[in-house]
Amino acid sequence: MPAPRRTRKKPAPGDGLWHLRLYIAGGTARSIAAIDNLQKLCDEHLAGKYSIEVIDLARNPTLAAGDQILALPTLVRKLPPPMKKIIGDLSDSEHVLVGLDLQPRRTPR
Amino acid sequence: MPRLTKPSPPKPKRSIAKCPTGIAGLDQITEGGLPKGRPTLICGAAGCGKTILAMEFLVRGITEFGEPGLFVAFEESVRELGDNVASMGFDLDALTRQKKLIVEHVRIERSEILETGDYDLEGLFIRLGYAIDSIGAKRVVLDTIESLFSGLTNTTILRAELRRLFQWLKTKGVTAVITGEGGEGELTRHGIEEYVADCVILLDHRVNEETSVRRIRVLKYRGTTHGTNQYPFLIGKTGLSVLPLSSLRLEHKASTLRISSGVPSLDEMLGGKGFLRGTSILISGTAGTGKSSLAAHFVQAACRRRERAFYMASEQSRDEVLRNMRSIGIDLAPLLENGTLRFYAARPGMYGLEKHLVTIHDAIADFDPQVVVIDPITNFSGFGDSLEVKSMITRLIDLLKSRQITAMFTSLTSPGGDLESSDIGVSSLMDAWILLRELEFNGERNRGLYVLKARGMAHSNRIREFELTDDGARLLEVCLGPSGVLTGSARVAQLAQAAAEATRSGDDLRRKQADLELRRQELEMRIAQMRTEFESDERALAQERTAGAGGAHRNGRP
């Protein structure tokens, strides 16, 4: 079971920082798929300016209320505002990118 | 037509355990409460009282049965919910501080959420599970779980997850209440009743002829008998009360104690002891026959016995009643001051029937009177259809009887109509019925009173004339003339005639006596005269004898 782990990938300083939080419950296939999908997506589109926080509610149930988590997995975009929630295993990357507002503003970098 | 519920076996086998709600009347119609350890669906349109019922279930679970509870609010925030139920005296904050209650607000904003790929509602399960375990909750409310459908679009996942949720709640052993909002012709918008199959309770709030009526019905209850009617319910100051139409079981205690009607001569007609305690008394009569006056007597007598009396006036204000009763020598003001009498005056049209019932309910719960007067009950008949009025009165009578309260209802009957038909048709519910009527005879109207029925006691069959004097109501002695009971001036005439006859016969006697006396005097005079004659004859004879004997004597002596 993954502990609540904080995986920081070279947080870039400045305004362009993306703070993403992924809620999962235990090491189910769906949880692992979500983590992998997110990782891949961020590396591809947000390289160097994002941080991912994975929270395992199976271990920390009290953390669910804060972000009003019901469905799992849920990806929460904490930064930049406004807050966005994307639920599901993030397998549909096109959708996720739209949800994160990454698709339209997709600039090379 | 409301009917009594289907006859249930005398002692139904308790095949499933029940969880009492503590809500007045609800446990009665469900014969013990909700199915323990299983989910129950409460459904109904917006504003029908689902949330309040659910919250009361939790609060009473904590305060009366020591079972901690979890309230999951999908629609209202914790604060809003607390404010909404504070009016019923539920202090959610205090219960939360005591770790007996958790109110968890679950918010779903569709605009914030995007669905991509496969997911489940494990997050909700985790939150519920954590909350249940942290206070050891035995009761759980999900209000309204259908909000999930507006927040999430994948209904296939949602339905599967709801099914899992209800199953999971069962394995947790909690008694759950799930609320659902009904659509047109459907119990719930998204058909969740198919997952919650053990017990379904339907609430309804509608307006009939400008009168709001709330109804509750147990639609389904697996494995147990239950009342199948629609029962009215109220949301009052202390929460919800379901009012079974008539007590499912007629189990009122029957007292043999008697209490005075406040009019000694009326008590006399009732076997000399007055009414039975805990019964319902109907006083019916046309306008101005003295119904309220009898009621005032009754109240006064109760207060003198140091009992508490509740007077509901729907035609006169409090001050009017006080003034009017003072005119017949009944002063109710001191009774109001010392707190033995309480008034409630309001026109029935002012609120719905329900509201009045709530008021009476609350007053009875709060004041705990031994005597209640509703004056007049017929005023309610103009509001709501007669079925509703009758059922309200039935419920009221049941409530009063169950608390052993002696109740007096006055009823205005329309002149010319059949006096013995009370407008609302409630007479069969009454234990005693006193009829006041106008007796029109000889060019005047007088009041007559008779006891039409008095269950469980001997009572007079006479029609008595009834008078309102400066010293209150009074029943006159029965005056029978050649043509029946006489009243008013006919009665006075009859009495005068009788008196005159009496005088006449008295004179005769005196005359005869005088006559006799005269004859006696005459007799005595004649006796005296004869004696005088006799005595003079005697004297004459004696003189003659003396003269003859004197000569012989002289001759014979030397």
Digit-coded pLDDT (tens) for B118-171: 888 888 999 999 999 999 999 999 988 888 888 888 888 888 988 899 899 999
Q: Looking at per-residue confidence, does B222 or B307 come out higher? A: B307
The two counts, helices (H) then strands (E), for chain B are 14, 25
User: What is the structure's pLDDT at B417?
Assistant: 56
User: Distance from CA of residue B167 to its chain's centroid?
Assistant: 46
Q: Looking at per-residue confidence, does B284 or B249 come out higher? A: B284
User: Distance from CA of residue B317 to its chain's centroid?
Assistant: 20
User: What is the structure's pLDDT at B151?
Assistant: 83
What lies within 8 Å, CB to CB, of B471 at 6+ separation is B328, B329
User: What is the structure's pLDDT at B78?
Assistant: 87
Residue B278 has pLDDT above 90, yes or no: no
User: What is the structure's pLDDT at B247?
Assistant: 52
d(CA B317, CA B477): 34
Tell me what the pLDDT averaged over chain A comes to.
78
Please give the backbone phi and psi of residue B23, each rounded to the nearest 5 degrees, phi first.
-85, 130
Average pLDDT rounded to a whole number, residues B29-34: 86
What is the token pair recorded at B10?
A: 């005398």
CB burial of residue B11 (10 Å; 0-12, 13-18, 19+): exposed
Average pLDDT rounded to a whole number, residues A95-107: 70
Average pLDDT rounded to a whole number, residues A90-99: 82
User: What is the structure's pLDDT at A1?
Assistant: 45
Tell me what the pLDDT averaged over chain B comes to.
81
Sheet with A50-56, edge to edge strand ranges? A5-9, A50-56, A18-24, A74-79, A84-87, B113-115
Residue with tokens 């038909």: B421
Q: Which of B236-245, B253-262, B440-449 has the lowest mean pLDDT?
A: B236-245
Q: Looking at per-residue confidence, does B69 or B225 come out higher? A: B69
User: What is the structure's pLDDT at B59?
Assistant: 92
User: What is the structure's pLDDT at B528?
Assistant: 93
Residue B176 has pLDDT above 80, yes or no: yes
* Chain A environment of B115 (Cβ under 8 Å): 86-88
* Chain B environment of A73 (Cβ under 8 Å): 119
Best residue in B119, B130, B150 to probe A by mutation, most A CBs within 10 Å?
B119
Q: Measured between CB atoms, which of A70, A83, A98 is closest to B124? A: A70
Average pLDDT rounded to a whole number, residues B79-99: 88
Are A89 and B118 a contacting pair at CB < 8 A?
A: yes
Residue B32 has pLDDT above 90, yes or no: no
SS3 at position B445: strand
What is the token pair recorded at B6?
A: 């289907």
Please give the backbone phi and psi of residue B496, each rounded to the nearest 5 degrees, phi first.
-65, -40
Question: Closest Cα to residue B62, out of B91, B85, B30?
Answer: B91
CB burial of residue A13 (10 Å; 0-12, 13-18, 19+): exposed
SS3 at position B53: helix
DSSP H/E element including B6: none
Question: Closest Cα to residue B44, out of B181, B155, B158, B242?
Answer: B181
d(CA B266, CA B273): 9
Residue B557 has pLDDT above 50, yes or no: no
| Cα end-to-end span (Å), chain A | 35
User: What is the structure's pLDDT at A12?
Assistant: 42
| Contact of A93 with A38, CB cutoff 8 Å | no
d(CA B50, CA B44): 7
Task: Tell me which amino acid residue B330 is.
Answer: I
Q: Looking at per-residue confidence, does B191 or B478 come out higher? A: B191
At B523, the pLDDT band (50, 70, 90 cuts) reads very high
The string of pLDDT tens digits covering residues B359-389 is 787 788 788 899 999 888 777 766 556 666 7
User: What is the structure's pLDDT at B137?
Assistant: 92
- Smallest Cα distance from B131 to chain A, Å: 9
Cβ–Cβ contact A62 with B under 8 A: yes
User: What is the structure's pLDDT at B348?
Assistant: 66
- Smallest Cα distance from A109 to chain B, Å: 25
- Indicate the pTM of the whole model: 0.66
Residue A25 has pLDDT above 60, yes or no: yes
Average pLDDT rounded to a whole number, residues B278-285: 88
At B477, the pLDDT band (50, 70, 90 cuts) reads confident
Residue of A nearest to B129 (CA): A61
| Contact of B173 with B99, CB cutoff 8 Å | no
- Smallest Cα distance from A88 to chain B, Å: 4
Judge if ipTM > 0.95.
Answer: no
Residue of B nearest to A100 (CA): B114
For residue B334, is the peptide bond before it cis, meaning its omega torsion is within 30 degrees of 0? no
d(CA A91, CA A93): 6
| Contact of B126 with A58, CB cutoff 8 Å | yes
| Contact of B262 with B301, CB cutoff 8 Å | yes
Task: Tell me which amino acid residue B93 is.
Answer: D
SS3 at position B148: helix
Average pLDDT rounded to a whole number, residues B9-13: 48
DSSP H/E element including B371: strand B371-375
DSSP H/E element including B389: helix B386-402
At B2, the pLDDT band (50, 70, 90 cuts) reads very low
User: What is the structure's pLDDT at A104?
Assistant: 54
- Smallest Cα distance from B186 to chain A, Å: 27
In percent, the amount of chain B with pLDDT more than 70 equals 85
Residue with tokens 């199959």: B197
The string of pLDDT tens digits covering residues B46-62 is 778 888 899 999 999 99
Cβ pairs A/B, distance under 8 A = 91
Cβ–Cβ contact A78 with B under 8 A: no
Are B148 and A70 a contacting pair at CB < 8 A?
A: yes
How many other C-beta atoms can be found within 10 angstroms of the C-beta atom of residue B77? 12
Please count the CA atoms within 13 angstroms of the CA of B450 that sit on its side-chain side. Answer: 13
CB burial of residue B545 (10 Å; 0-12, 13-18, 19+): exposed
d(CA B121, CA B162): 9
User: What is the structure's pLDDT at B101?
Assistant: 92
What lies within 8 Å, CB to CB, of B196 at 6+ separation is B39, B40, B41, B166, B178
d(CA B170, CA B172): 5
User: What is the structure's pLDDT at B530?
Assistant: 93
Cβ–Cβ contact B127 with A under 8 A: yes
Residue A5 has pLDDT above 70, yes or no: no
Cβ–Cβ contact A56 with B under 8 A: no
User: What is the structure's pLDDT at B175?
Assistant: 93
User: What is the structure's pLDDT at B385?
Assistant: 61
User: What is the structure's pLDDT at B83?
Assistant: 87
User: What is the structure's pLDDT at B383?
Assistant: 56
What is the token pair recorded at A38?
A: 């997110």
Are A70 and B123 a contacting pair at CB < 8 A?
A: yes
Cβ–Cβ contact A38 with B under 8 A: no
Q: Which of A88-102, B57-71, B469-483 has the lowest mean pLDDT?
A: B469-483
Q: Which of B55-59, B281-285, B291-295, B548-552 has the lowest mean pLDDT?
A: B548-552
Q: Which of A65-74, B190-199, B398-407 has the lowest mean pLDDT?
A: B190-199
User: What is the structure's pLDDT at B10?
Assistant: 46
